[in-house]
A and B are shown apart, each in its own frame.
Chain A
Amino acid sequence: MTVIVFDDQKIELESGQTVLSALLDRGYDIPNSCQAGACQTCMMQVVEGELPEKSQSGLKDTLKAQGYFLACSCEPQTPLSIKVSQAADLRSQATVVGHDCLGADVLRLRIKPTGTFDFYSGQYLTVWKSETVGRSYSIASVAKRDDYVELHIRRIKDGVVSNWLHDEVKVGDELQIQSATGSCFYIPGTPEQNILLAGTGTGLAPLLGIASDALHQGHSGDIHLIHGALTVDDLYLHQLLIDMASQHSNFNYYASVLKVEQVLPPVTTESLQGTVLAVADDPADWKVYLCGSPEIVGQLKKAIFLAGASMKNIYTDPFISAHSS
């Protein structure tokens, strides 16, 4: 007999009973459907304890790394403390240590969290302007390399938080932030695998974070980063990425720009999707990361999947409007 802890309650499992069945028996309304480990509706997260391997079977690597599991396939052998996913908002403090304008309307904000702040490059955190008004931004820095957390903030017309961060916040200020989440990040373990990163606007922040993290962890496969933009002015880290490509032989950078007068590599007038499909002509075993505008992320996801990428290897972070404004 094993005991699990959920919602501050100790719940005893009969032998052979799953976590889902025990919680449902106790009257908890846990979403579920197939009850056979396939549909992933009953995904929960571990707080403490050891998960049976079967309970994570079929999950994306990034979800496994964060302790997600399927309640219907979980028959724990040892005590386990669990929660429904996306629980527990933890706010903490951070000090602004860098505040630079990159190009026309993107702010590079660097902050130093007070105390420990766990994250994977490419995840997003929420910056709170007040008790109730906050926006999420993706992390472009690398935990083990940088002593700050870097966010890219596009100025949104009438955006309450983005204009405040651009115009009022300055170095030395204290900000309220909230723990990082999201499943778009680098997973070590297959260093020779090719990686494709593509996105628009400040979708570049998580892509840069993931690429830098991969390089920092000694990734040896090819890494291709494609930034899609309307004009060259939107390529707000153009030179940094060109430098990165000359420093790392396995890192490649392409800029797909819609309106451009002079076409010089790495700039191309080929569409973002066209560039993606040309760069990853056989993506069957590639890992693919797509970030930025939801429409474009959706289109690219379908295109790269139809081109042969496996669903499990495609990670996306569509920036819904409250995220990043």
Chain B
Amino acid sequence: MSSVYDRIGGEAAVDKAVDIFYRKVLADDRVNEYFDGVDMDKQANKQKAFLTMVFGGPNNYTGMDMREGHKHLVARGLNDSHVDAIIELLGGTLADLGAAPSDIQEVADIANSVRDDVLDR
């Protein structure tokens, strides 16, 4: 079974998605405090890893990695509302890229499947 990653066009599409998604994130006051002020190139690379993962592309992340990777953000107050916002921005990004509603739902489901890990509970 092919993944959303393959259907939207693989790595080239993810590269495009990073720019779109990152622009949305920086412009969104609900979540931008978590992404601002750090090395933008490094952030963009991490977002590429993030998008590749939630699009069902090749990755080796485990739930444990998600837990460790976001612990410092949970300590700063990361909660369900932020995950909801990120999933919404993800959907917007995919819509901009012309993805089908069913694909957007599939990506939201993948993101939701690690919600508890990301929020360390």
A: residues with CB less than 8 A from B are 33-41, 57-58, 298, 301-302, 305-306, 310-312
A-B contact list, 18 entries, CB within 8 Å: A34-B60, A36-B52, A36-B58, A36-B60, A37-B11, A37-B58, A38-B14, A38-B48, A38-B59, A39-B49, A57-B11, A58-B15, A302-B26, A305-B23, A311-B18, A311-B19, A311-B40, A311-B41
Whole-angstrom distance between the alpha carbons of A310 and B46 in the complex? 16
B114 close to chain A: CB less than 8 A = no
Task: Given A38-B45, A312-B15, output 13 extra A-B contacts at Cβ < 8 Å.
Answer: A35-B59, A35-B60, A36-B58, A36-B59, A36-B60, A38-B52, A39-B45, A40-B45, A301-B40, A305-B40, A306-B26, A310-B19, A311-B44
Establish whether residues B22 and A311, one from each chain, have CB atoms under 8 Å apart when the complex forms: yes
Least distance between A41 CB and chain B CB atoms (Å): 8
* Chain B nearest Cβ from A277, distance in angstroms: 15
Give every chain A residue within 8 A of B49 (Cβ-Cβ).
33-34, 36, 38-39
Q: Which residue of A lies closest to B23 (CB)?
A: A306
* Separation of A40 and B26 alpha carbons in the complex (Å): 21
Residues in chain B near residue A40, CB distance under 8 A: 45
Listed in ascending order, the chain B residues whose CB lies under 8 Å from chain A are 11, 14-15, 18-19, 22-23, 26-27, 40-41, 44-46, 48-49, 52, 57-61
| Chain A interface main SS type | loop
> Closest chain B residue to A301 by CB distance?
B40
Return B12 CB to nearest CB of chain A, in Å. 9
A301, A306, A311, A312: the one contacting B27 at CB < 8 Å is A306
The 9 closest A-B pairs by CB, nearest first: A38-B49, A34-B49, A39-B49, A40-B45, A38-B48, A35-B60, A311-B44, A36-B59, A36-B58
Nearest Cβ in chain A — how far from B107, in angstroms? Answer: 16
Closest chain B CB from A58 CB (angstroms): 7
Contacts of B52 in A (CB 8 A): 34, 36, 38
By a CB distance below 8 angstroms, the chain A residues around B23 are: 305-306
- Flag if A58 contacts B11 (CB, 8 Å): yes
| Alpha-carbon gap, A272 to B40, bound state (A) | 20
The residues of A that contact B26 with a CB separation of less than 8 Å are: 302, 305-306
Chain B residues with Cβ under 8 A from A311's Cβ? 18-19, 22, 40-41, 44
A-chain residues with CB within 8 Å of residue B22 when the two chains form the complex = 305, 311
Q: Which residue of B lies closest to A311 (CB)?
A: B44
Q: How far is the CA of A213 from the CA of B52 in the complex (A)?
A: 37
A57 to B: closest C-beta gap in Å: 7
Q: Which residue of A lies closest to B16 (CB)?
A: A310
CA distance in complex: A34, B27 (Å) = 26
Residues from chain B with Cβ under 8 Å of A306 in the complex: 23, 26-27
For A33, A36, A41, A302, which residue has the most chain B Cβ atoms within 10 angstroms? A36
Q: A302-B26, A305-B23 are in contact. Are A58 and B48 (CB under 8 A)?
A: yes
Name the distance in Å between A33's Cβ and chain B's nearest Cβ. 7
Give Cα A30 to B84, complex, Å: 35
Chain B residues with CB under 8 Å of A36's CB are 49, 52, 57-60
Between A33, A39, A41, A58, the greatest number of chain B beta carbons within 10 A of the residue's beta carbon is seen for A39
CB distance from A298 to the nearest CB of B (A): 8
How far is it, in angstroms, between the C-alpha of A298 and the C-alpha of B40 when the chains are bound? Answer: 9
Q: Are A39 and B58 in contact (CB under 8 A)?
A: no
- Inter-chain CA distance A39–B14, complex, in Å, is 12
A311 vs B40: C-alpha distance in the bound complex, in angstroms? 8
Contacts of A41 in B (CB 8 A): 45
Contact indicator A39/B19 (Cβ below 8 Å): no
